């Protein structure tokens, strides 16, 4: 099987939890301090060996393409002003990385979004799927580890995180086989179970490596009660037909699809900057 060099970014969602900001700004461009969520996700992908970025988008998300465009006029202005630190901030994407934008048409779920990338994936290829909402800070690139296990096992591989009982009903939860270090074979996935019915405390998060065969499965997947096509349904079918691996996340993840997760992610990054940390802590100490 070929090296994994393509990643799909489903960015066609409406971002309703961040209205009215997302009337004009894609939620994937909301910044963690000064860098948008989508840029963090793209940098993770490139560091993991991805060469082609496939954005499954909507008509209102042209700003994502704009963000990754080179800006030669602004670059020339900053160079003339000897503002090299600002020049570096313009380099949002290496020139050799290919970008592809595919319209989703309608926001019909994650499975539907992934299916739109079918024409870009060869018959013998595996590809990554990255949800930019899941902001991850880790010493080891989480996608790189996922790719390594997928290439070793030659089967679909997903990232999972240990979650508390009070949050378990918000996740697809795996039934693991015997853990081999940080990965295991998955024997079942239950979508959003109650804590007492969950087969484990490991929930699926927004990093996947999938085989091309997932598209045939997605074409046969039926809509759920919310009129969406769920990727979890396709994962269950892949699990039965060709196997499914799970890799434990080694790092800290923030669900930036929620307001609380977004705020916490910003605070987390702010604490890594000495100047910001002092100001934030001083402000928090003054709060009652």
Q: What is the pLDDT of residue 86?
A: 87
Q: What is the pLDDT of residue 9?
A: 97
Residues 134 and 170 in one domain: yes
Contact 7, 121 (CB under 8 A): no
Domain residue limits at 276: 258-288
Helix axes 274-286, 259-270, angle to 10 degrees: 120
Q: From 253, 248, 41, 231, select the one nearest 145 (Cα to Cα).
A: 248
Q: From 38, 189, 248, 41, select the one nearest 128 (Cα to Cα).
A: 41
Q: What is the pLDDT of residue 223?
A: 82
Residues 78 and 123 in one domain: yes
Alpha-carbon span 226 to 151, nearest angstrom: 34
Domain contains 1: no
Q: What is the CATH number of the domain that holds 191?
A: 3.90.550.10
Tally of domains in the chain: 2
Residues 79 and 181 in one domain: yes
Domain contains 169: yes
Q: What is the pLDDT of residue 1?
A: 59
Residues 125 and 235 in one domain: yes
What is the pLDDT tens value at each position of the chain, 288 positions in all? 578 999 999 998 888 899 999 988 999 999 999 999 999 999 999 999 999 999 999 877 889 998 988 888 888 888 888 888 888 888 888 889 999 999 998 888 999 999 999 999 998 899 999 999 999 999 889 999 999 999 998 899 999 999 988 889 888 899 999 888 899 999 999 888 888 888 999 999 999 999 999 999 999 988 888 888 889 989 999 999 888 999 999 899 999 999 999 999 999 999 999 999 999 999 999 987
Alpha-carbon span 237 to 65, nearest angstrom: 34
Both tokens of 148, joined, read 């390594």
């Amino acid at each position: 099987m070929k090296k994994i060099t393509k990643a799909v970014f489903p960015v066609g969602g409406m971002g309703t939890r961040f209205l009215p900001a997302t009337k004009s700004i894609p939620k994937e461009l909301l910044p963690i301090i000064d860098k948008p969520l989508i840029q963090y996700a793209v940098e993770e992908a490139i560091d993991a060996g991805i060469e082609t970025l496939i954005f499954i988008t909507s008509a209102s998300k042209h700003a994502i393409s704009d963000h990754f465009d080179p800006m030669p006029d602004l670059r020339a202005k900053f160079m003339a002003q000897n503002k090299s630190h600002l020049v570096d901030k313009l380099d949002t994407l290496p020139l050799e990385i290919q970008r592809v934008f595919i319209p989703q048409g309608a926001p019909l779920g994650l499975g539907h979004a992934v299916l739109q990338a079918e024409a870009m994936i060869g018959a013998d290829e595996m590809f990554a799927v990255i949800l930019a909402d899941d902001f991850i800070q880790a010493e080891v690139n989480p996608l790189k580890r996922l790719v390594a296990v997928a290439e070793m096992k030659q089967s679909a591989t997903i990232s999972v995180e240990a979650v508390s009982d009070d949050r378990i009903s918000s996740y697809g939860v795996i039934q693991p086989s015997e853990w081999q270090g940080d990965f295991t074979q998955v024997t079942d996935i239950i979508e959003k179970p109650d804590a007492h019915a969950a087969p484990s405390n490991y929930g699926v998060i927004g990093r996947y490596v999938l085989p091309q065969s997932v598209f045939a499965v997605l074409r046969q997947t039926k809509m759920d009660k919310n009129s969406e096509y769920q990727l979890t349904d396709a994962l269950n079918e892949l699990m039965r037909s060709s196997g499914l691996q799970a890799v434990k996340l080694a790092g800290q993840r923030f669900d930036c699809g929620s307001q609380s997760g977004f705020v916490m992610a910003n605070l987390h990054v702010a604490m890594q900057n000495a100047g910001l940390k002092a100001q934030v802590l001083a402000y928090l100490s003054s709060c009652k």
